[in-house]
Structure 1
């Protein structure tokens, strides 16, 4: 019985976000940030939270510590309607933390992985996966415990009748050692941003990167910030303009919000064009408030922002 729309396997942490900075830190100097927010972080959690706010039934598999930051993670997800019963807690581990420094539309981040390092394939039950229609995995390079088991995870999901999506996120070590030829045939929707795809394919332009994709890859969505997005499907390329926000609060979680919007439409069987347009919209909505999730309090708020900020009726 599939009673879950999307099951998310991924990293969990809180974000300490510092905004209203006049410049980035410099060694030996002190800088001021005039706004501070402690909020739910991690690509996977932002995706899950915002997808649930859109109306999907979402469950999460991850690992955290038995500490105050862990409580923030659980409470934040539960407040958005995400099922947290499959999240593992360990008294021996710390919940991960990312310090985010925002300057204009750019940012710098420092992460303590904590429990994110310790999630293993053996923590993921086939019985739990079988309850879902779709599997989403994010932040490959932040989860070394799953690195060698990822093909097995996707193969298992496919054998249980799930569709799959995958967002690598950035590699902090910048080694980019990921076998796309092995993985992409198992992934229905691949969701890198432009910079990540160029690193992964060791190319200099988007057209070169798309040309190197394995011929048996399925659907690739390339996120390009305020330039919109580009989809690739069996060699056909579809660029789509962004919903431009002229008053960006911050861009944290904008890519994850794109993922949430795209997958929300994808699991409903919508066309590629409709999925991509809705992803562009939810990515833009994310930038209207701080932290990646605050613009997605509930569906009525999402509808209001879409109409008032972008002239789009949901």
Structure 2
């Protein structure tokens, strides 16, 4: 699909926040009692997260998370060459996080910290929408000097987590190191709230280094200022060689070199939780890119990944789901 990916390198390296996801199912009234924002991501301190946990009425599900981590775990489960770069605490959450990476075929490249491992409280409402409240903890301490071109040796694509715009020095160093290593840079805009808060930095400092730009409709609207989806994708394609507009249950659109490919969604089951849907979509898409598949095939793999994760709680697709996804892959 993309001639700049031709070569021996097949690795996909993700740089992002090492976080544990704490998932709870609550109604809209509960959410309204703790925040005026539904959907998106809000940064909070550790005491806020603990205070909310004391009020929850549902069981708390604990799974490793973080946007780039979810994507890289998906690449690993597809048997791709996957590495995750981040920072964790010297605690049980951090040990759980690292072991989970290894079990999912991901090479951990983690810096240690005495600060607690970060975590995300995801409140999932009956409409399957999730509102995320993030305490970054150790993840926020990953420093520019802990990233170098050697970090990305063997990488065809480096995925820079959109949330890193809140650490501008780290984001700038990661972009420069990825380029120096000869990798393409992919960025998922992550959340419309992130885009709104850091729009100038994203447009002026980040986008010039991005080769693959991925967004859902809310993020695309915040980034471009355009409500018309076709116009928003066109504007995104002026910013990156590959532009993707994820449309949830309506599928996706992929723009490459002026050609737009419409990708149908996968459907049929009951949608339980949208946590990780965009992240796993990106996993299938980036994996397909390094394998040299067409835009349509990349999109179909991505749709299968995004669909399967919506059928379970959290971003951990069970093996039966991965088996169905692998059945969508072209014969080697």
Same fold (TM over 0.5): yes
* Kept after mapping to 1: 8 A contact 2:304/2:325: no
> How far 1:254 sits from its partner (Å)?
0.8
Q: 1:205 — aligned with what?
A: 228
C-alpha separation in 1, matches of 2:275 and 2:259: 30
TM-score, normalised via structure 2 length: 0.81
1:267 paired to 2:290: yes
2:191 & 2:329 partners in 1: Cα distance? 33
* Greater percentage in helix: 2
Partners of 2:89 and 2:116 within 8 A in 1: yes
| Alpha-carbon displacement from aligned partner over 1:265-287 (angstroms, at most 9, x marks no partner) | 10011111111111111111111
The equivalent of 2:187 in structure 1 is 166
- How far apart, in 2, do the equivalents of 1:266 and 1:50 lie? 14
Residue of structure 1 aligned with 2:100, choices 61, 73, 76: 76
Runs ≥4 in structure 1, deviation > 6 angstroms? 28-31
* 2:273 matches 1:250: yes
Residue 305 of structure 1, CA deviation = 6.4
Please, which of 36, 53, 56 is the counterpart of residue 77 of structure 2? 53
2:323 maps to 303
Residue aligning to 2:61: 37
Aligned length in residues: 301
Q: 1:111 aligns with which of 134, 142, 154?
A: 134
- 1:230/1:238 contact within 8 Å kept: yes
TM-score, normalised with respect to structure 1: 0.86
Alignment-derived partner of residue 13 in structure 1:
19
Quick check: 2:160–2:188 contact (8 Å CA) kept in 1? yes
In the alignment, the residues of structure 1 paired with residue 250 and residue 264 of structure 2 have an alpha-carbon distance, to the nearest angstrom, of: 6
Contact 1:231 1:239 in 2 (8 A): yes
Instruction: Give the Cα separation in 2 of the matches to 1:52 and 1:129.
Output: 16
SS where residue 236 of structure 2 aligns? coil
SS of the residue corresponding to residue 40 of structure 1 reads strand
Gaps of 5+ in 1: none
Q: Sort the Cα spacing of 1:107 and 1:216 in 2 relative to 1 into closer, same or farther, 3 A.
A: closer
SS of residue in 2 equivalent to 1:83: strand
Q: What's the secondary structure of 1:213's corresponding residue?
A: helix
1:38/1:58 CA distance change after superposition, 3 Å: same
1:116-142 alpha-carbon deviations (Å, 9 max, x no partner): 2222221112222123222111133x5
Q: Does residue 1:131 correspond to 2:154, yes or no?
A: yes
Higher relative contact order by CA 8 Å / sep ≥ 6: 1 or 2? 2
Q: Which residue of structure 2 aligns with residue 157 of structure 1? A: 178
RMSD between aligned alpha carbons? 2.7
Residue of structure 2 in register with 1:294 after alignment: 317
- Secondary structure of the corresponding residue to residue 204 of structure 1: coil
1:212 is displaced (CA, Å) by 3.0
Contact kept? 1:180, 1:214, Cα under 8 Å: no
